[in-house]
Amino acid sequence: METKIIKINENKIDPDRIRAAAEVIKGGGLVAFPTETVYGLGASALDGDAAAKIYAAKGRPSDNPLIVHIAAKENIEKYARNISDTARKLIDAFMPGPFTIILEKKDIIPDTVTAGMNTVGLRCPINAVANALIKTAAVAIAAPSANISGKPSPTEGRHVIHDMKGRIDCIIDGGSCEVGVESTIVDATGEIPVLLRPGGITVGMLRSICPELEIDKNVSVPLNENEHPKCPGMKYKHYSPDAEVIVVEGSKDNVTAKIKELLAADMSITSGVITIYGANYDNAVMIDGGKDNREYAKNLFAALRSFDDLRVKRIFAEFHDGDEFALAVKNRLYRAAGYNILHVGN
């Protein structure tokens, strides 16, 4: 399949280019588009056949539901029912933005989109390209992250081109994503809202609106075998580059000493390090993770993909807990590493 690549500048949106992409959505095709979190792979959320093509293009398991993207928070009423007062407060506080709310779904959403679940994840992106695309298509857009299933989510147009060129109708290249990790997901179907996936809207921000918010335990620890997660995506391998990832977590001195020791122990493997402490490693490719976990979140997926491009076989990821974005970074990093974590002390 020939994939049309359309460049759109978020700060100077060309309506003709948006219209061309919106026509593809209206015609039942697939369009990858930028959002403030990661790139999405979109199809009309009201067209089950179009949504089915998303699973095929990504190689996504058919029991993993898609998030439905809307142009304005008021549109939530069209797709969800039994919206509690707490859910409404969260919606008012965090939409538009990097936030997804799980609610009971209305029948208008086809089962293919929600993988047969009776709930739906709704998100209203703040990214101007995403918003213009949804508005111009005049329909909600179902979209998972635009990567091949299991790979790091795409945060730049070239990542999507790498994974999806030849598999989908159209890719909008809108530059790099601001947040860099996927949206915060809150399940608001029960009495007490539960955080299912951490992201740019932090626990502190959520609890300022909803102090009783709970955090699902699988946000930071792996699922047990045979356990059914609330968020089906939790049970699948995630964010994995071709290289092996090892998280080294702790203070500057302990982390750098440990990585130096491990590098020296086996010099035959091409190694990379995501650095946060500014240390210098001989015999390793280094990529800067950033000065804090907000920057780390923005850089992480691009770093994992760059190491694959450089044929790195083993990645040490420096990590330090302790700021409000740590939970979002940790959640991705631990999964990317298959929970291979060295705690070396603070």
> Based on CB atoms, which residue is closest to Mg ion, 98 or 250?
98
If contact means CB under 5 to 8 A according to the sort of partner, which of Mg ion, ligand TXA, none does residue 100 touch? ligand TXA
Contact positions toward Mg ion, by CB under 5 A? 145
If contact means CB under 5 to 8 A according to the sort of partner, which of ligand TXA, Mg ion, none does residue 246 touch? none
Q: Quote the least distance from Cβ 266 to Mg ion, whole Å.
A: 32
> Based on CB atoms, which residue is closest to ligand TXA, 118 or 283?
118
- The DSSP line for 62-97 is TTSPPEEE-SSGGGHHHHEE---HHHHHHHHHH-SS
> Based on CB atoms, which residue is closest to Mg ion, 145 or 275?
145
Q: What distance in Å separates the CA atoms of residue 57 and residue 60, rounded to the nearest whole number?
A: 8
> Based on CB atoms, which residue is closest to ligand TXA, 187 or 308?
187
> Based on CB atoms, which residue is closest to Mg ion, 239 or 316?
239
Please list, residue by residue across 67-80, b when 16 or more beta carbons sit within 10 angstroms of its beta carbon and e when fewer do: bbbbbebebbeebb
If contact means CB under 5 to 8 A according to the sort of partner, which of Mg ion, ligand TXA, none does residue 194 touch? none
If contact means CB under 5 to 8 A according to the sort of partner, which of Mg ion, ligand TXA, none does residue 64 touch? ligand TXA
Q: Which two tokens stand for residue 211?
A: 């102090």
Give CA separation, 306 vs 41, 78, 321, 339, in Å.
21, 41, 24, 21
82-87 contacts, C-beta under 8 A, 24 or more apart: 82/189, 83/188, 84/188, 84/191, 86/188, 86/193, 86/210, 87/188, 87/193
Q: Which two tokens stand for residue 275?
A: 């650095």
If contact means CB under 5 to 8 A according to the sort of partner, which of ligand TXA, Mg ion, none does residue 232 touch? ligand TXA
| Start-to-end Cα distance in the chain | 52
Q: Quote the least distance from Cβ 99 to ligand TXA, whole Å.
A: 9
Helix/strand/coil for 208: helix
Q: What distance in Å separates the CA atoms of residue 125 and residue 130, rounded to the nearest whole number?
A: 7
Q: Quote the least distance from Cβ 195 to Mg ion, whole Å.
A: 17
Strands 214-215 and 194-197: parallel
Q: Quote the least distance from Cβ 251 to ligand TXA, whole Å.
A: 32
Residue sitting closest to ligand TXA (CB):
233
Residue 45 φ/ψ, nearest 5 degrees:
-75, -5
Q: Quote the least distance from Cβ 170 to ligand TXA, whole Å.
A: 15
If contact means CB under 5 to 8 A according to the sort of partner, which of Mg ion, ligand TXA, none does residue 185 touch? ligand TXA
Name the residue among 158, 153, 200 with its Cα closest to residue 179.
Answer: 200
Contact positions toward ligand TXA, by CB under 6 A? 35, 37-38, 40, 64-67, 100, 102, 114, 117, 119-121, 123, 143-145, 182-183, 185, 230-233
> Based on CB atoms, which residue is closest to ligand TXA, 55 or 316?
55
> Based on CB atoms, which residue is closest to ligand TXA, 34 or 250?
34
Q: Quote the least distance from Cβ 38 to Mg ion, whole Å.
A: 7
